[in-house]
Amino acid sequence: MPNRDAPSVMTRPVREEKSGGRFPYSLGNVFGARHSVPSLGALAVGRAVEVGLSVLGDSAMSATFFFMESNSGLKRTEIPDDPVAFVTSLRTIFGLGSRELLASVLVALHDEKATLHGDNLLQGFEAAVESGIASVETGVM
């Protein structure tokens, strides 16, 4: 016979959802998309960008993402989908210093590439970063 003094699962209060019907740390909130979860390639590119830009430190990296969004409209979550805009934004913000940041991102991309063989998004992003490094070296925008 069940213990009537013990709280029942049915009598526990229901946790209210936050932020427009979604929990604050759901995949949709973390990645900025309501209906889609990013691919493994997009996650790998996002990690590589963060690792590459981490040489700046947390505050400067956050400021870089802020300036990217305010100056060029490129949101942090859109970087894997638009590598050319990412390279251009970095060049606009850092000038010749963007070469070192892009090289750091490229090293991180190579590390991610070792775990994800043949991912088209990762390969395309890598090609855009390599092209960006070359354009900084030659002075061509």
Domain of residue 81, CATH code = 1.10.1200.200
pLDDT of residue 4: 54
Inside any domain, residue 17: no
Is 125 a member of any domain? yes
How many domains is the chain built from?
A: 1
Q: Per the domain annotation, does 30 fall within a domain? A: no
Query: What percent of the chain is predicted at pLDDT more than 70?
Result: 70
Q: pLDDT tens, 42-100? A: 888 999 999 999 999 999 999 999 999 999 999 999 999 899 999 999 999 999 999 99
The number of residues making up the chain comes to: 141
Is residue 37's pLDDT more than 90? no
Domain for residue 102, yes or no?
yes
Residue 6 lies in a domain: no
C-alpha–C-alpha distance, residues 124 and 45, integer Å: 10
List the domain range (segments joined by +) for residue 47.
Answer: 39-138
pTM of the model: 0.68
Tell me the mean pLDDT in the region 119-135.
83
